Amino acid sequence: MDDVAAWFLALYKTTGIKLTIFYDGYDRNRFLEGLVTTVKLSAYCLVGSLVLGALVAMLQGARTAAVRRTASAYVELFRNTPPLVQLYFFYFALGPLLPKVDGAPLLGSFGWAVVSLTLLETAFAAEIYRAGIEAVPKEMVEAAASLGFSRMQVYRQVVFPLALRASLPAMTNNLVNLVKTTTLAYAIAVPELVYMSAQIWSEQVNVPEMMIVLLVCYVAMVGAINQLMQWLEARLRVPGFGQ
Amino acid sequence: MSAGRPSFAAPPREGNGLLSAQTGAALAAIFVASVAVAQIQAPLAKPSVLELLAKWTPLLATGFVFNLLISFFAMAVGTVAGLLLGFARISLLRPVSGVSWVVVQFFRNSPWLVLLFFVMYLLPFQFRVGDMTIPFPDWIKATLGLALPIMANVAEIVRGAVQSIPTAQWDAARSLAFSRRQTLWKIILPQCVKRMLPPWMNWYAILTMATTLASIVGVSEVMTITLRITNAEGRTDLLIPIYSYVLLWFFLYCYPISRWTRRLEARYA
């Protein structure tokens, strides 16, 4: 660790390439904190959107027209408006309406980012599940129903497991998009990776270096997600489907 | 489908008009929120929220037009660059397709905001050509920054479309003595245009929504103007109406595009 720090310090002294995050403890901690916040933000939104997305997809296939339409309206609304404006709407417009607990707002900028991005991703996840559900052969649903499965049982034990597998590739894309979208939280001062990097580059005046570190970080995260999802796809594969 | 049979696929979307039931419901949701707040708090406030919205509408409109302008330019630049990159991607020369693969992956997988920062900070604010100084304003830089991810995604669309054409057509063209270039231009690409159109339009809608990112890097588009208006008025009851108002504008612009895209997809599928 010390060798790495020494090497980057030497790099700065000889070439002027200033990567403070490798040898300055304060900057390194800030940067890592930002990375952790980004990962946390992504993870919360991912879990939230997977659960809510399944719910919304189910509502979109409900028997009552009003329920179906409301679910669809929600999906269309969030898919067809700018995510940044949604975030501002939640943070600046709805934020002040929340009651305060001990003088502090109930939800801080991180909390609102989670809410806003989860609702956005839920809309995308719902569409993906829906496509996955449509990919389940009708005959299979009929067969399950004829075996006496209830509507709920059919959904949980037949449709959902197959739909999940059919939607995995699209889910990978969506997850990548989610990680990229968390950068928006910068706009409401959530201390995530971009925000922390911006602080570092404005203090150390090393914009080009930090930019490259930032881009490499995101490309690496996306690469890791792709690998993980490929593994998951291979793991969950059911014989007899796909190629 | 007979009644009572369990089905989990959503029924076909009702109505194909622009103002379908869902759109209506979505719009109503925004309006109910903003009008309700306006109604509750209007009696106390001097100029009502609706009056304020009316007063600022022209300014917001200029901001929104600016967003659209950025989206047109970024789409044009991104499409042209993306087509070139897409051709490089399907090149038979290993180095060309390899390098273009790296470029595409890099720009597709980087967050838009970071690319925007990249372009904003690292490009000069003016160019010198001989004695002339050509200014390089913020909004042009933002346009270039937004064009980068579009470029990479258009390249992927090109590659995907070319790959979706059956190999048999390439073989048939070769047996008729078409060169690779002739096959590409006269046989493959004309069929690709149709397939490329829906995803291309989809990216245009995404880009239009992403133009609001330019506000973060200091371009005076609709979001910047909205923030300034809310600061100038200092009215908390204006916040929800004005943000939903801006959301509504984008919705009215992007939703028809997404509807149209879906129709084209269904027709060409």
Q: pLDDT truncated to tens, each residue of chain A (243 aa)?
A: 678 778 887 877 788 777 888 778 888 889 999 999 999 999 999 999 989 998 998 888 888 888 888 888 888 889 888 999 999 999 988 888 777 777 777 788 899 999 999 999 999 999 888 888 888 888 988 999 999 998 888 888 888 888 888 888 888 888 998 999 999 999 898 999 999 999 898 888 888 888 888 988 998 999 899 899 889 888 888 776 654
The residue whose two tokens read 């029924």 is B11
Q: Which residues in chain A are closer than 8 Å to B236, comparing Cβ atoms? A: 96
Whole-complex ipTM: 0.84
CB within 8 Å: B117 and A77 = no
B168-177, long-range: CB < 8 A, 24+ apart = none
pLDDT-derived band at B64 (thresholds 50, 70, 90) equals very high
- With a cut of 60, say whether residue B42 has pLDDT above it: no
Number of domains, chain A: 1
Residue of B255, B59, B68 lying closest to A81 (CA atoms) = B255
What distance, in Å, lies between the first and last C-alpha atoms of chain A? 47
Number of domains, chain B: 1
CB within 8 Å: A219 and B110 = yes
Measured between CA atoms, the residue of chain A closest to residue B257 is: A80
CA–CA separation, B136 vs B198, rounded Å?
33
- With a cut of 50, say whether residue B1 has pLDDT above it: no
Going by C-beta distance under 8 Å and a sequence separation of 6 or more, which residues neighbour residue A91?
Answer: A109, A112, A113, A116, A188
Q: Which residues in chain B are closer than 8 Å to A72, comparing Cβ atoms? A: 10, 13, 22, 25
CB within 8 Å: A81 and B105 = no
> Which of B7, B109, B258 lies at the smallest CB-CB distance from A79?
B258
Query: Using DSSP, how many helices (H) and how many strands (E) does chain B show?
Result: 10, 2
CB within 8 Å: B246 and A207 = no
- Residue A161 token pair: 């497991």
> Which of A77, A83, A89 lies at the smallest CB-CB distance from B209?
A83
Residue A194 at interface with chain B, using a CB cutoff of 8 Å? yes
Measured between CA atoms, the residue of chain A closest to residue B203 is: A80
Domain assignment present for residue B108? The answer is yes
pLDDT digits (tens, 9 = 90+) for B199-235: 899 899 999 999 999 988 888 889 999 989 988 888 8
Is residue B258 within 8 A of residue A80, CB to CB? The reply is yes
Distance of alpha carbon A37 from the chain centroid: 12
Instruction: Please name every residue paired with A61 in a beta bridge, in sequence order, or none if there are none.
Output: none
For the residues of A61-80, what is the DSSP string, one character each? T-SSHHHHHHHHHHHHHHHS
Looking up residue B198, the CATH number of its domain turns out to be: 1.10.3720.10
Q: Which residues in chain B are closer than 8 Å to A154, comparing Cβ atoms? A: 6, 8
Range of the domain at A66: 2-98+106-236
- With a cut of 80, say whether residue B23 has pLDDT above it: no
How many A×B Cβ pairs under 8 Å? 157
CA–CA separation, A133 vs A135, rounded Å?
5
Residue-level pLDDT at A159 = 86
Residue-level pLDDT at B74 = 94
In angstroms, what separates the C-alpha of B251 from chain A's closest C-alpha?
5
For residue A174, count other CB atoms closer than 10 A to its CB.
Answer: 20
- Burial class from Cβ neighbours inside 10 Å (0-12, 13-18, 19+) for residue B220 reads middle
Kind and range of the H or E run holding A104? strand A104-105
What is the pLDDT averaged over residues B128-134?
Answer: 78
- With a cut of 60, say whether residue B258 has pLDDT above it: yes
CA–CA separation, A208 vs A108, rounded Å?
31
Residue of A108, A109, A127, A112 lying closest to A49 (CA atoms) = A127
Range of the domain at B237: 32-38+46-268
Looking up residue A143, the CATH number of its domain turns out to be: 1.10.3720.10
In angstroms, what separates the C-alpha of A2 from chain B's closest C-alpha?
30
> Which of A180, A214, A219 lies at the smallest CB-CB distance from B112?
A180
CB within 8 Å: A211 and B122 = yes
Q: Which residues in chain A are closer than 8 Å to B113, comparing Cβ atoms? A: 183-184, 186, 194
Residue A60 at interface with chain B, using a CB cutoff of 8 Å? yes
Residue A207 at interface with chain B, using a CB cutoff of 8 Å? yes
In angstroms, what separates the C-alpha of A16 from chain B's closest C-alpha?
17
- Signed CA dihedral, A54, A55, A59, A63: sign only: positive
Q: How many residues are there in chain A?
A: 243
Coil, strand or helix at A101: strand
- Residue A32 token pair: 């890592």
CB within 8 Å: A183 and B255 = no
- Signed CA dihedral, A114, A117, A123, A125: sign only: negative
Residue-level pLDDT at A1 = 66
Kind and range of the H or E run holding A181? helix A160-181
Domain assignment present for residue B148? The answer is yes
CB within 8 Å: B223 and A85 = yes
Range among A148-162, B24-38, B142-156, B233-247 with highest mean pLDDT value: B142-156
DSSP A99: P
CB within 8 Å: A68 and B11 = yes
Q: What's the half-sphere exposure (Cβ side, CA atoms, 13 Å) at A197? A: 26
Q: Where are the beta strands (DSSP E) in chain B?
A: 126-129, 132-135
pLDDT-derived band at B44 (thresholds 50, 70, 90) equals low
Residue-level pLDDT at A158 = 87
> Best residue in A74, A75, A85 to probe B by mutation, most B CBs within 10 Å?
A85
CA–CA separation, B62 vs B76, rounded Å?
21
Phi/psi of residue A24, nearest 5 degrees: -100, 115
Enumerate residues 25 to 54 of chain A having a beta carbon within 8 A of any beta carbon in chain B: none
Distance of alpha carbon A210 from the chain centroid: 23
For the residues of chain B, what is the DSSP string, one character each? --TT----SPPPPS--SSS-HHHHHHHHHHHHHHHHHHHHHTTTSSS-HHHHHHHHHHHHHHHHHHHHHHHHHHHHHHHHHHHHHHHHHT-SSHHHHHHHHHHHHHHHHS-HHHHHHHHHHHS-SEEEETTEEEE--HHHHHHHHHHHHHHHHHHHHHHHHHHHS-HHHHHHHHHTT--HHHIIIIIIHHHHHHHHHHHHHHHHHHHHHHGGGGGTTT--SHHHHHHHHHHHH--HHHHHHHHHHHHHHHHHHHHHHHHHHHHHHHHH-
3-state helix, strand, coil in chain A (%, to 5): 80, 0, 15
Computed on alpha carbons and rounded to an integer, the radius of gyration of chain B in Å comes to 24
